[in-house]
Chains A and B, each alone.
Chain A
Amino acid sequence: MKKGFLVVLVLVAYALHQDVWLFARARPLVFGFLPVGLAYHALYTLGCTLLMALLVRFAWPGHLEASSREPDAR
Chain B
Amino acid sequence: MTPAVIVFLYLAAVAYVGIFAFRGARGREGAEDYFLAGRSLGPFVFLMSLFGTNMTAFTILGSSGHAFQNGIVTYGLMASASALVIPLGLFLVGTRVWALGKRHGFITPVQLFRDRWECGHIGTVIFAVQAVFLVPYIIIGVMGGGTTLHSISGGRVPYWLGGAVVAIVVMSYVFFGGMRGTAWVNTFQTTLFLVFGAAAVLVIGAGMGGFSAAAEAMLEGPMARLLTREVVSPLYFLSYTFIPLSSLAFPHILIFCLTARRLEQFKKTVVLYPLCLLGIWLPCVFLGVMANRATDVPQIRAKIEARETLTREGPGLSPEARQGLRAEAAADDVLILLLERHAPIWLAGLLGAGIMAAVMATDSQILALSTMFTEDVFAHYGGRERFGPRAEVHTGRAFVVGITVVAYVIALRAPEGIFALAVQYAFTGYAALCPLLVAALFWPRSTKWGALAATLWTAAAVAAVAAFQAVVPPPLAGPGRIVLEVAGLPILTRTAGGTAVLGLMPVVPITLLSAAFLAVASLLTAPPTRATRLRYFAPDRLRESGRLG
| Chain A residues within CB distance 8 Å of chain B | 10, 13-14, 17-20, 22-27, 29, 32-35, 37-38, 41-42, 44-46, 48-49, 51-53, 55-56, 60-70, 72-74
**A65 to B98 Cα, complex, angstroms:** 9
Say if the beta carbon of B156 comes within 8 Å of chain A.
no
Smallest distance from the beta carbon of A12 to chain B beta carbons, Å? 11
Say if the beta carbon of B227 comes within 8 Å of chain A.
yes
Can you name 18 A-B residue pairings with CB atoms under 8 Å?
Answer: A17-B76, A23-B229, A26-B228, A35-B228, A37-B76, A41-B80, A42-B80, A45-B80, A45-B274, A45-B282, A55-B270, A61-B96, A61-B263, A67-B539, A67-B549, A68-B99, A68-B102, A72-B105
* Pair A72/B104 contact, Cβ less than 8 Å: yes
A-B pairs, top 10 by smallest CB distance, nearest first, are: A26-B227, A33-B211, A64-B99, A68-B102, A32-B212, A35-B227, A48-B274, A63-B543, A68-B99, A41-B80
Chain A residue contacts of B238, Cβ below 8 A: 18
* Pair A46/B274 contact, Cβ less than 8 Å: yes
Chain B residue contacts of A67, Cβ below 8 A: 99, 103, 539-540, 543, 549
Say if the beta carbon of B148 comes within 8 Å of chain A.
no
Query: How does the 8 Å CB contact mask read for B217-238 relative to A, with 1 for contact and 0 for none?
Result: 0010000100111100010011
With A13-B84, A64-B540, A66-B549 already in contact, the answer to whether A23 and B274 are too (CB < 8 A) is no
Chain B residue contacts of A32, Cβ below 8 A: 211-212, 215
* Pair B72/A64 contact, Cβ less than 8 Å: no
Say if the beta carbon of B262 comes within 8 Å of chain A.
yes
With A23-B234, A24-B230, A72-B103 already in contact, the answer to whether A48 and B98 are too (CB < 8 A) is no
Q: Give the contact stretch, choosing among B12-20, B87-95, B494-502.
A: B87-95
Chain A residue contacts of B262, Cβ below 8 A: 65
**A53 to B91 Cα, complex, angstroms:** 11
* Pair B103/A70 contact, Cβ less than 8 Å: yes
**A25 to B238 Cα, complex, angstroms:** 18
Complex partner residue of B103 from A13, A46, A52, A68, CB under 8 angstroms: A68
Query: How does the 8 Å CB contact mask read for B269-286 relative to A, with 1 for contact and 0 for none?
Result: 011111101100010011
**A45 to B529 Cα, complex, angstroms:** 43
Chain A residue contacts of B270, Cβ below 8 A: 52, 55-56
Q: Between A and B, how many residue pairs show CB distances below 8 Å?
A: 152
With A37-B229, A72-B105 already in contact, the answer to whether A63 and B549 are too (CB < 8 A) is yes
**A26 to B277 Cα, complex, angstroms:** 22
Smallest distance from the beta carbon of B443 to chain A beta carbons, Å? 17
Interface size class, chain B:
35 or more
CB nearest to B76 among chain A residues: A41
* Pair B540/A38 contact, Cβ less than 8 Å: no
CB nearest to B96 among chain A residues: A64
Chain B residue contacts of A62, Cβ below 8 A: 263
Complex partner residue of A14 from B84, B91, B96, B230, CB under 8 angstroms: B84
Chain B residue contacts of A26, Cβ below 8 A: 219, 224, 227-228
* Pair B282/A42 contact, Cβ less than 8 Å: yes
* Pair B72/A35 contact, Cβ less than 8 Å: yes
With A49-B274, A67-B543 already in contact, the answer to whether A34 and B286 are too (CB < 8 A) is yes
Complex partner residue of A29 from B102, B212, B544, CB under 8 angstroms: B212
CB nearest to A71 among chain B residues: B103
* Pair A22/B229 contact, Cβ less than 8 Å: yes
CB nearest to A26 among chain B residues: B227
Complex partner residue of A18 from B73, B100, B234, B286, CB under 8 angstroms: B234
Chain B residue contacts of A53, Cβ below 8 A: 271
Say if the beta carbon of B241 comes within 8 Å of chain A.
yes
CB nearest to B231 among chain A residues: A23
**A7 to B410 Cα, complex, angstroms:** 46
CB nearest to B290 among chain A residues: A33
Most chain-B CB neighbours within 10 Å: which of A22, A46, A51, A52?
A52
Complex partner residue of A49 from B81, B229, B272, B540, CB under 8 angstroms: B272
**A7 to B264 Cα, complex, angstroms:** 22
With A33-B214, A55-B91 already in contact, the answer to whether A25 and B104 are too (CB < 8 A) is no
Chain A residue contacts of B263, Cβ below 8 A: 61-62, 64-65, 68
Say if the beta carbon of B75 comes within 8 Å of chain A.
yes
Chain B residue contacts of A22, Cβ below 8 A: 229
Most chain-A CB neighbours within 10 Å: which of B80, B214, B540, B544?
B80
**A51 to B88 Cα, complex, angstroms:** 9
Say if the beta carbon of B267 comes within 8 Å of chain A.
yes
Say if the beta carbon of B216 comes within 8 Å of chain A.
yes
Complex interface residues of chain B between 275 and 315 (CB less than 8 A to chain A) = 275, 277-278, 282, 285-286
Complex partner residue of A52 from B81, B95, B274, B549, CB under 8 angstroms: B274
**A63 to B539 Cα, complex, angstroms:** 9
Chain A residue contacts of B76, Cβ below 8 A: 17, 19, 37, 41
